[in-house]
Structure 1
Amino acid sequence: MKIKILICSLFTFAFGFSQSHKATISTIQKDGFHKITISPEIRSASVDNLGYFRILDKSKKEVPYVLFNNVKWSSFTYNKIDKVKKESILDSITSYIIPIHEHSTKYCSELSLLISNSNIEKSYSISGSNNQKEWFGLVSNQILSDLNNEKGTSVERKIFFPLNNYKFLKIDLNDKKSLPINVLEIGYSVRNFKMTEITNLIDFKYKISEDKKNKKTIITLSSDNYQRIDGISFDVKTKLFSRNASVFVNATRTVKKRTENFKHEFFNFNLASNTSNVFPQNGFYEKELIVEIDNQDNQPLEISKINVFQNTISVIADLKVNEKYEIILDTTLSKPNYDLVNFTKNIPAELPKATISNLKKMDSESKEASEKSFWQKPIFLWSTILLTLLLLAYFVFSMLKDVEKK
C-alpha cells in the first residue's frame, strides 16, 4: 500500500506543475534604481498576484524589488506676485494692490507676506475689487505680530480671508500708531495634486444596445482574459442628463443542490452632466461587465467612449547597465521578502523607467534548467519513477519466489 501511495504522489508531482510566463526587460542605459511598470497583461497572467513575479539576472539569480503604488499626493508651490502696486498716505495707511487675475490662482483665500524684522505689531484690513474703483470688504482689523526672526533678517507671515474670485485684492496696513513695516514680497501658494495613475484596459471592448421595453441602455464590456478592474469612466455627448446605472457581473449560485447562473449587481452609480463620470472601485477581477442605464422616459445617452481602467502599479529595482534581465511568473512561488523594502527612503523620487516586453506563456517542462534545482527537474522525476517501478518489480518477483517455495 505504501508503494502505491508513493507512485501516485510521484505521478501527481510530475504532471501537476502549473503553467508560467516569462518576459524580458528593456536594455538598461545606466546603473541604479529603475521604475518598472507592471502591465495589465502581466497582472492578468499572474491573476493579480505579484507574489509570483520575479526579476532574474543573466545568472538566473533573483534581483530584489519593492512594490510601488502610484497613489495620489499633494504639495505646495510658492509663487511670487509681480506688479504689486504700493500706495502710502503719511502717518495713515500703506496699501498694497495685488493683481490676482494675472496669476494662475482662480480662487484665493490666503497670501504670504515676506516682512523685514520688526518688533512692531501692525493691524490690517483686506478688500477686493474687479475694477480697482469699487472695493468690498473681506477682513477688518486683523493683527500682524511676532515679526522678528532670530535666525534671519526677515519673516514670512500668512494672512487669511474668505474664498473669493475678485480680480484685485488690497491690503491696507494701519500706520497711525507706528511707522510702516517693510513688506519685501507678496506671494501665494498653489496646492499641486497628483492623482492615482491609471491604465486604460484596451483589451475591453464594448457593445451598446437598447432595451426599449424596460427603457434601459445595455452596455456589455468584455475582454478575452480576466483583468484587475479599479474603475470605469464614460464620455457622454448629451448635454443635460442625470441617470441611475448599475454594473452587473456574471456569477453562479447553488439552489437546492442545483447550480445556476445569474447576474450579480456589483455596484451602482449616477451618470450626470455636471460631473466627471469617473467611477473608481476597490478592485475586482472580471472579464465581462454589464452596465444597465435607466433612461426612464428620456432618449438614450449619446456615449462617445467608455474606459475600463486599473490603478497603475510599478516595481523598483536596482539594475546594472547593459545587463540582461528576465521576468518570470511562477505560480509555485510565494511573495518574496527582500531587504530592499526597509530602504525605500533611500530611493530617489525621480527614476529612469524600464519596460517589460515579449511576455510569453510556457509550460513548466520548457523552463530553463537553471530555474529549478536538479531534484525539481523532469529528468529527476522520471528517474525516480523508473527506479520506483524497478523496486516494485523486484518486490513482486521476490514475493512470487516465496510463494513458490511454500
Structure 2
Amino acid sequence: MTLTTRLFIGFLIGCTLFCGAQIETYNYKRALNEVNDEWHKVALPDAVFGKVKSDLSDLRIYGITKTDTIEAPYLLQVLSEKIVSKTISFDIINKTKGANGYYFTFQLNSEDIINQIHLNFKEQNFDWRIELQGSQNQQEWFTILEDYRIMSIKNETTDFKFTKLDFPDAKYRFFRLLVKQKDQPELQSAQLFKYEITEGSFVNHAIKTMAITDDKKQKATIINLDLEQSVSISQLHIDVGNTFDYYRPLKIEYKSDSIKTEKGWKYSYTTIKNATLNSLEANRFKTSNTIAKDLKITIYNGDNQPLTIKDISVKGYEHQLVGRFTELANYMLVYGNPAARTPNYDIAKFETKIPKALKTLKIGAEQVIIKQKQEKVKPLFENSYWLWAIIGIVILILGGFTLKMLKKS
C-alpha cells in the first residue's frame, strides 16, 4: 500500500469520524423516509419549533452510508403569501359639489385593472360615508362601492386611520369618488393600485387555555393564551362579539424569559405587534415569524366598557425544507444545537433551477441523540491517603539522606 493510498484512507476515516461527531452536537433527530429522487421537500412538524434556535439555523440533513456520513444541502422556505402591488398612473380631472356631497373624478392614463385606492385627506378627524363609481365615457356610471365607511381619529391617545378602499377588479377609464359630507373635504393625494395576493399556507395552532381578565387600574383587558406547544406564530385573529363601533389600541406580546424569585416566578414579555382593534375591518393581525408558547394580548379600553371576546385563533406559516439528495443513504433531520450557525449551501444561488413538483418525504418520530460518554481519566491515586503516605515516605528518605550528609561533614 503506497503512502498516498494510506493518506487518502486516513482522510476518509477522519471525515467520517468528524461528521459523526458533528451529529452528536445536536440533541434530536428524525428519520427521513422514502428518499428516492434527487430533490425532495420536508414539512417541519410543529413539535420541532420548541427545540430549535429562533432563526432555525440549527437544522441539518445528514445521511449515513456504509462508509461515510454526508450532509445534504437544503433551502428553508416559509410558505407566506406573495403580494404584488402595481401603481396605476392617473389624473384628478374634476372636483365638484353635488346634491349628495363632493365628487372627485380620476382619469386613468392607461387601460389597467384596479382593485384598491388609498386616500389621504388633510382632515385628521372624520367619519364619512363614500361611494365609488366607474365609467368608460363619464355618461353612464356603475356603482362599485356603496355606503362605504372611511374614518380618521387623531388625539393624545389614539392615532387611527382607515381610508383604504378595497373592491373587486374593475376596469374603467374613469372612477368617481363621492364623499357624502356637507363641508368640502380636502383630498391631498390618492394612489390607485392593482393588488394581487397569492395566499400562503397556514397551520392552525391549538390553544390549550385562554384567560381573560379586566384590569380596572390600567383600564385594559388582558388576554393570556397558553398554546399546546412552542410553535411559529405569524397571525392572530380576534373575534369580537359586540355590534357597536369601537377602536381600541392593542398590544401583542410573547413570554420570552422567566426568573424564579423568592416571591415566585417573574416573567418577561417581548412585544411583537402594536395595532388597533376596530369595528371597520377584520381584526387579523400579522406578526413577524415568532416562536412562542405563551402570548399576552392587552386591549386598552380607556373609559369605554370592555369588549366581548368571542374567540381567538392563532396561525403560523408552514415551513418546509427543500433538500438535494445525491447519494444513497439513510437520511435524517437533526436539530437542537445552540452553537450551530446558518449553513451556506450552493443551491441557494440556483433556486430557480430547483424543480417545482417535489415529493414530500415522510418524517419519522423524534428521537433523542445519545451522546457518547467520554471515559473519565482516573487519577493515579483515587484515595488521598495513599498520596499522603507516599509524600511521607519521600520526606523520610530525604530526611535520612540529609542526616547522613550532616554526620559525614
Report the TM-score when normalising by structure 2: 0.53
Local SS of the residue matching 1:238: coil
Q: Does residue 275 of structure 1 match 2:267?
A: no
Amino acid paired to 1:403: I
Of residues 223, 235, 242 in structure 1, which corresponds to 2:247? 242
Q: Distance in 1 between matches of 2:84 and 2:356?
A: 14
Match of 2:213 in 1: 209
| Cα deviation 1:347-395 (Å, max 9, x = unaligned) | 12343333534124x2643xxxxxxxxxxx32xx21xx23x52388999
**CA 1:66/1:273 → structure 2, altered by over 3 Å: closer, same or farther?**
same
**CA 1:251/1:63 → structure 2, altered by over 3 Å: closer, same or farther?**
closer
Of residues 43, 50, 59 in structure 2, which corresponds to 1:44? 50
| Cα deviation 1:297-350 (Å, max 9, x = unaligned) | 655434332123334332110247996532221415443333322322211234
Local SS of the residue matching 2:53: coil
Q: Distance in 2 between matches of 1:263 and 1:55?
A: 34
Q: Does residue 403 of structure 1 match 2:395?
A: yes
**CA 1:286/1:162 → structure 2, altered by over 3 Å: closer, same or farther?**
same
Matches within 5 A, 1:351-366: 351-360=358-367, 362=368, 364-365=370-371
Q: Distance in 2 between matches of 1:164 and 1:34?
A: 52
Match of 1:34 in 2: 40
Alpha-carbon contact 2:43-2:319 (below 8 Å) kept: yes
Amino acid paired to 1:206: M
Which structure 1 residue ranges, 5 or more long, are not aligned? 1-16, 77-107, 113-125, 138-158, 166-189, 366-376
**CA 1:206/1:320 → structure 2, altered by over 3 Å: closer, same or farther?**
farther
Amino acid paired to 1:68: Q
**CA 1:321/1:111 → structure 2, altered by over 3 Å: closer, same or farther?**
farther
**CA 1:161/1:320 → structure 2, altered by over 3 Å: closer, same or farther?**
same
Q: Does residue 135 of structure 1 match 2:140?
A: yes
Q: CA deviation at 1:19?
A: 7.3
**CA 1:195/1:403 → structure 2, altered by over 3 Å: closer, same or farther?**
farther
Match of 1:63 in 2: 72
Alpha-carbon contact 2:255-2:293 (below 8 Å) kept: no
Alpha-carbon contact 1:110-1:160 (below 8 Å) kept: no
Q: Distance in 1 between matches of 2:370 and 2:266?
A: 34
Q: CA deviation at 1:24?
A: 2.6
Q: Distance in 2 between matches of 1:164 and 1:338?
A: 53
| Cα deviation 1:133-192 (Å, max 9, x = unaligned) | x6369xxxxxxxxxxxxxxxxxxxxx9833479xxxxxxxxxxxxxxxxxxxxxxxx864
Amino acid paired to 1:219: I
Match of 1:161 in 2: 173
Match of 1:120 in 2: none
Local SS of the residue matching 1:289: strand
Match of 1:104 in 2: none
Q: Does residue 307 of structure 1 match 2:313?
A: yes
> What's the % identity of the aligned pairs?
19
Match of 1:340 in 2: 347
Which structure 2 residue ranges, 5 or more long, are not aligned? 1-23, 86-107, 113-133, 143-170, 178-193, 399-409
Amino acid paired to 1:241: Y
Report the TM-score when normalising by structure 1: 0.54
Amino acid paired to 1:233: H
Matches within 5 A, 1:259-298: 261=266, 266=271, 267-296=273-302, 298=304
Q: Distance in 1 between matches of 2:321 and 2:26?
A: 23
Matches within 5 A, 1:70-109: 70-74=79-83
Of residues 305, 325, 329 in structure 1, which corresponds to 2:335? 329
Alpha-carbon contact 1:19-1:364 (below 8 Å) kept: no
Q: CA deviation at 1:195?
A: 4.2
What number of residue pairs does the alignment pair up?
278
Alpha-carbon contact 2:206-2:228 (below 8 Å) kept: no
Cα RMSD (Å): 4.5
